[in-house]
Amino acid sequence: MIGWHFFKEGTTKFNDGFSSVGFLSSATGPFAGQFQKFVWDADGKIRLGYDTDADPPIPNLEPTIAHWRAYWSAATKHFGWDQTRAKSARTLLERRVGQLNAYFQDPEIAPEIVQLFQQMDRRDEQLARNDMANVASLKGQGYRLEGEIATLRAKHLIAVDAIWSGVEHDLNRFAENTKQKGRFKLEPLQAPAISTDTIDAFIPWFDTIIGICLVFGFLTPVASVAGALFLFSVVISQFPGAAGATPTYNQAVEACALLVVAAAGAGKYFGLDSLLNSLCARCCKKKLGADEK
C-alpha cells in the first residue's frame, strides 16, 4: 500500500505537473534556510535589481539587462539567424528592456521598490541580531514585517516576471515565424547549482521508481530506507513546533512504517527479492555440489 501511494504520487506529478517552489519557499524551522536556497531568487532581490552597495537602496537593472542581451546572443547562435534576423530579434529584446526600465521608473512604482528594499534591510538586520528570538511582541512585529514584505514583493514580481517571460516568448515566437524549430530557454540569473528545476525533474521519477520497487518487492530494504529519508526531509522542512509549520504527521507515520519494513527484512518471502534470493540459493547449491564432486 505504501508502494502504491508512492507510485500514484509520482504518476500524478508527471501528469499534472509539479513544482517544488511553494514547498521549499514555505520551509520553517532551523533548516528553513537550507531548503530555501534551492529556490532561485526566493526573496526577489535579483529580479528587482537589489544592489547591496547602493545607499539608499535603489534598483540596479544592469545585470538583468546584460543577462537578457547575452540570451539574445545565444539565441542568435542557437537558431543560426543571419544579421538581418538577429537585428530584428534584438529590436524585440530592446522593447522588453524598455518595458523593464519604464516599470522601475514609474513615479508610483519607484518609491515602493525603495520602500521594499528598506523593509528587507530592516528585517535582515533584526534577524542578524536575533532581536525576535525570545520576545513575543518582537516576534509579532517580525511576522507583520515579513507579511508586508511578501505582499509588496509579490505585487511587483508579478509585473517583472511577466516581462522576463516575455523576453523568452518573443525570441522563441520570432524563431517560429522564421521557421526555426525547437525552443531556447532563458536561464535564471545567478541560479543555484541545484535548483528547483532539477528537483522538479527528479522527484516524480523518485516517487514512481520507489513505488514500483515497493509494490513488486524489488530491492525492498533499499527502497524503504530511501523513501523514509525522503519523507523525513519533508518533515524537517516543516519543523514540528516551528512557527507557521504545516503539520506533517502523515509523512512522519509513513516514514516510520518504511523503516519498520526495512528492519523486518521485507522481501525475503514474497516479491522479486524472494525470487532472486531463491535463484541465487539454487545457483550456490549447484556450484557447491559441483565443487564437492
- Local structure of 78: helix, strand or coil: helix
Per-residue pLDDT of the chain (293 residues; tens, 9 = 90+): 999 999 999 999 999 888 888 888 888 888 888 888 888 888 899 999 998 787 777 899 999 999 999 999 999 999 999 999 999 999 999 999 999 999 999 999 999 999 999 888 888 887 767 655 555 555 667 678 888 888 999 999 999 999 999 999 999 999 998 888 888 999 899 888 888 888 999 999 999 999 999 999 998 999 999 999 999 999 999 888 887 788 899 999 999 999 999 998 777 777 888 888 777 777 766 665 555 55
Residue 128 C-beta-side C-alpha neighbours within 13 Å = 6
At a CB cut-off of 8 Å and minimum separation 6, what does 211 contact?
Answer: 3, 4, 5, 6, 7, 8, 9, 10
Distance CA 93, CA 170 (A): 8
Give backbone dihedrals phi and psi of 86, rounded to 5 degrees, phi first.
Answer: -60, -40
Distance CA 36, CA 221 (A): 31
Cell numbers representing residue 11 in the block: 504518476
Write down the domain spans for the chain: 1-40+192-293, 41-177
Cell numbers representing residue 86 in the block: 538577429
Cell numbers representing residue 278 in the block: 531463491
At a CB cut-off of 8 Å and minimum separation 6, what does 248 contact?
Answer: 234, 235, 238, 240
